[in-house]
């Protein structure tokens, strides 16, 4: 059932009409893209067109786009595809990076969740002195707080010490400009369903000179980088959504203004609320609100019952909520009391108003119950 108010775009954006139409059209193409007959060539054309569209989205090379099952697989391919490397990741990466390599070394962050470049340089120096090859992985924008990382500066350090660098840009595309050349990165992970494409399709885009060992074997697809028949319909939808990314960026200021109004009105009503990373650069659509004393899961459920879809500030898997490692690394006092509100181009001022009303009523009810308990 569709929620009356959907404010969980960082989890997944609604599929847009162009992507839906591309998926439906591709489903009518019977051929396998690896087949040489006419039907196969038609399927191959769909894949090749989408490959160019996805590459253009990050100013990459279409020949170096590797389609995957999503951002998680793209991150796993990046971290495991280079042989004999030490992996350094920021401590606030997405679980698909954190859990991809149990032996990865963590780079600390400050109280705003921004990577400590001094700590990174110290780690790179130690690796160089030990004769180790290194891969650095730093996300462009955090999925929970929206914090934008200094990826280009981290990349300059990586290059100085002869290391490769990977960037998880899944949350960033469509919200801030993403240019592989300007970021100076060797690999970028992206995902379709964050930008209005279908779920279950993503890509890893690599720079010249990056040679990866395939993690899924059994076919020559994706130039022997990732085996398996291509998800033609998903790829078509991804390409269509990628082609609209520049248009999404034109709405960025409007989305930021709505987010700022939401935060200002919440703070006026409940000054005890903490807004994670408010004092640093972050995505204009993302707000991580911490209401001391009330579990984030309770807030999510209460809002859901009132018809407002948000998420907790913690990573969720199969309906289970875990305390946010991101907020813990930032030193937040009550990480379990966080919720994430994330807006999209379709978000209206009326929806912002409804969130504020429902959330304020929830907080007011909690305060009244607290006063009643103290008086008893």
**β-pair type (320-321, 316-317):** antiparallel
Cα dist from 24 to 14, 189, 199, 333, whole Å: 16, 25, 14, 48
Are 55 and 205 spatial neighbours (Cβ–Cβ below 8 Å)? Answer: yes
User: What is the C-alpha to C-alpha distance for residues 342 and 240, in angstroms, rounded to an integer?
Assistant: 23
A 10 A CB-CB count for 372 gives 9
Q: Is 51 helix (H, G, I), strand (E, B) or coil?
A: helix
Are 34 and 232 spatial neighbours (Cβ–Cβ below 8 Å)? Answer: no
Of 14, 1, 4, 3, the closest CA to residue 244 belongs to: 14
Of 127, 167, 288, 316, which residue is the catalytic one?
316
DSSP string, 154-217: HHHHHHHTT-EEEEE-TTTTTTS---HHHHT-SEEEEEGGGTTS-SS-EEEEE-TT-----SS-
167 among known catalytic residues: no
List of residues 6+ apart from 354 with CB closer than 8 A = 4, 5, 307, 308
Residues with catalytic annotation? Answer: 316
């Amino acid at each position: 059932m569709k929620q009356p108010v959907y404010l969980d775009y960082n989890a997944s954006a609604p599929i847009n009409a162009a992507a839906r139409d591309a998926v439906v059209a591709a489903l009518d193409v019977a051929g396998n893209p690896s087949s040489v007959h006419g039907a196969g060539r038609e399927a191959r054309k769909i894949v090749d067109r989408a490959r160019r569209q996805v590459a253009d989205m990050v100013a990459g090379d279409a020949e170096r786009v590797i389609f995957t099952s999503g951002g998680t697989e793209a991150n796993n391919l990046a971290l495991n595809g280079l042989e004999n490397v030490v992996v350094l990741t920021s401590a606030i990466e997405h679980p698909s990076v954190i859990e991809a390599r149990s032996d990865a070394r963590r780079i600390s962050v400050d109280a705003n969740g921004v990577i400590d470049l001094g700590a990174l340089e110290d780690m790179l120096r130690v690796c160089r002195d030990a004769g180790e090859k290194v891969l650095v992985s730093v996300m462009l924008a955090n999925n929970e707080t929206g914090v934008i990382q200094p990826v280009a500066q981290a990349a300059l350090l990586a290059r100085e010490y002869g290391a490769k660098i990977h960037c998880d840009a899944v949350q960033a595309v469509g919200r801030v400009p993403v240019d592989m050349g300007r970021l100076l990165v060797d690999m970028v992970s992206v995902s379709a369903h964050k930008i209005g494409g279908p779920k279950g399709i993503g890509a890893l885009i690599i720079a010249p000179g990056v040679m990866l060992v395939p993690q899924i074997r059994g076919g020559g697809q994706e130039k022997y980088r990732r085996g398996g028949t291509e998800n033609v319909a998903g790829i078509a939808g991804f390409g269509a959504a990628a082609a609209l990314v520049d248009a999404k960026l034109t709405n960025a200021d409007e989305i930021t203004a709505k987010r700022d109004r939401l935060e200002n009105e919440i703070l006026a009503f409940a000054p005890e609320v903490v807004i994670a990373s408010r004092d640093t650069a972050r995505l204009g659509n993302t707000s991580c609100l911490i209401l001391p004393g009330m579990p984030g899961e309770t807030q999510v459920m209460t809002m859901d019952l009132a018809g407002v879809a948000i998420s907790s500030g913690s990573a969720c898997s199969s309906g289970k909520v875990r305390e946010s490692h991101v907020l813990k690394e930032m030193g937040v006092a009550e990480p379990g009391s966080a919720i994430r509100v994330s807006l999209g181009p379709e978000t209206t001022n009326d929806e912002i108003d409804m969130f504020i009303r429902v959330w304020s009523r929830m907080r007011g009810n909690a305060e009244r119950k607290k006063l009643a308990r103290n008086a008893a």
